A and B are shown apart, each in its own frame.
Chain A
């Protein structure tokens, strides 16, 4: 199973999202072309109702703790309830450009 499939399975099982997008943004970074290191997730679920942003992110971070402690170096999250997603006009902010931590040779890992 790819990391992307692994992430999808875990989130679908735990959160039954109304909408789920998994964007592999690794190509924006200085890693081999087939890498699964940088992801952006858009998760829309009613299970986020009444929860703060930090609480929502923590739910995802805990679900994906294994992936985050191994292959996945960067995880960008947009965590919304259904009404928030509708009023957000389904817009997703682009991720920041990579500044190439690896490229500069100044650090061993970008994230």
Chain B
């Protein structure tokens, strides 16, 4: 697991930021509908999050799939913990579990 140098970089990102979204494109200009849907959900929830564009770097794009043991993008991390991809986030949003998770974890909210 730790033999991939990209993993350390990914670990640092999820350690240093309360909410991290690995996505295609940027929060301002998502390049995939699934990524855009999660950006919208996080924006509505009002949390501060860091979007990391996996299209910027092929090693990140492939590395994050192994890092999370998850084959698709987007991927959401909250306080260092993998929460899921687009379907899971949208289901959690509908059921109120996402809001609850953010509150329980005490994440930082956007101004």
CB pair A75–B72 under 8 Å, yes or no, is yes
Please encode chain B, from 76 to 87, with 1 for each CB lying within 8 Å of some chain A CB and 0 for all others. Answer: 000000101111
Would you call B37 an interface residue if the criterion is a C-beta within 8 Å of the partner chain's C-beta atoms?
A: yes
Those of A81-111 within 8 Å (CB) of chain B = 93, 95-101, 104, 106-107, 110-111
Chain B: CB-nearest residue to A104: B31
CB pair B91–A53 under 8 Å, yes or no, is yes
Chain B: CB-nearest residue to A41: B87
Would you call B34 an interface residue if the criterion is a C-beta within 8 Å of the partner chain's C-beta atoms?
A: yes
> Chain B interface: which size bin?
20 to 34
**CA of A46 to CA of B60, assembled, Å:** 36
CB pair A76–B86 under 8 Å, yes or no, is yes
CB pair A61–B33 under 8 Å, yes or no, is no
CB pair A106–B55 under 8 Å, yes or no, is yes
**CA of A78 to CA of B87, assembled, Å:** 7
Residues of A within 8 A of B30 (CB): 99
Count of chain A residues near B, Cβ 8 A = 26
Please pick, from A69, A93, A100, A106, the residue contacting B71 in the complex, using a CB distance under 8 A. A69
Residues of A within 8 A of B71 (CB): 61, 65, 68-69, 75
Chain B: CB-nearest residue to A95: B33
Would you call B73 an interface residue if the criterion is a C-beta within 8 Å of the partner chain's C-beta atoms?
A: yes
Would you call B90 an interface residue if the criterion is a C-beta within 8 Å of the partner chain's C-beta atoms?
A: yes
CB-CB under 8 A for A99 and B36, given A65-B71, A107-B55: yes
CB pair A99–B72 under 8 Å, yes or no, is no
Those of B15-49 within 8 Å (CB) of chain A = 24-25, 30-34, 36-37
* Residues on A facing B (Cβ under 8 Å): 53-54, 57-58, 61, 65, 68-69, 74-78, 93, 95-101, 104, 106-107, 110-111
* Residues on B facing A (Cβ under 8 Å): 24-25, 30-34, 36-37, 55, 69-73, 82, 84-88, 90-92, 94
